[in-house]
Chains A and B, each alone.
Chain A
Amino acid sequence: DSGVTQTPKHLITATGQRVTLRCSPRSGDLSVYWYQQSLDQGLQFLIQYYNGEERAKGNILERFSAQQFPDLHSELNLSSLELGDSALYFCASSVEADNEQFFGPGTRLTVL
């Protein structure tokens, strides 16, 4: 158990819908990262927050957005969902921005 929690564990929804994934980092970790993992693309970095502020952006679609709240938990919002958005979404956290990242158990999103 890495100490990073993610909810929900599984999510099944329909195309065009909007969902919110939630992540609580390890106690004391200021940095949160979101990743998408699909079979053909591997683990893709989406976005990073550090102490409430956006730090870096990767291959994140405009339909996706995220935020980190004052208590340091983070949410990833996915809207206008498409079949291709079906994937495992991982959250990771680290103490500082350049430390080892600890991954949560992931949320498996299925878009039908």
Chain B
Amino acid sequence: GQNIDQPTEMTATEGAIVQINCTYQTSGFNGLFWYQQHAGEAPTFLSYNVLDGLEEKGRFSSFLSRSKGYSYLLLKELQMKDSASYLCAVRDSGYSTLTFGKGTMLLVSP
């Protein structure tokens, strides 16, 4: 099975940088995903890591360390619209299904 842990809430200021951490314990691993979800809306894909290291995509970057069972999502130049829940999800190596953490609610203030 999978156990995924991420902070419940974080706050940050517009224009700043924020790092959202995710730790996981898995019986199998085939990649880690980050999704953004605004309240009442569908999750939208942000990033994917399967190898160790940093993946950069515009203002968003994601890092993975498989040996430590650790990932983070880095958001730069924060905007008000970045206020949302950020979901960390681990893909199982057997069936390619995703197990989601409970999400980190990020509030960006002016």
Contact = CB atoms under 8 A, between A and B. Distances in A.
A45 B42 contact: no
A42 B42 contact: no
A97 B45 CA distance: 16
Contacts of A35: 100
A24 to B, nearest CB: 14
Contacts of B98: 33, 45, 101
Given A58-B97, A98-B91, A105 B102 contact: no
Contact of B101 (A4, A42, A102): A42
A35 B33 CA distance: 16
Interface of B: 30, 33, 35, 40-45, 48, 87, 89, 91, 95-103
What 9 pairs across the A-B complex have the smallest Cβ distances? A56-B95, A42-B102, A103-B42, A43-B100, A98-B96, A97-B96, A56-B97, A103-B43, A100-B45
Contacts of B96: 56, 97-98
A95 B32 CA distance: 18
Interface in A19-72: 33, 35, 41-45, 48, 55-56, 58
Nearest to A88: B40
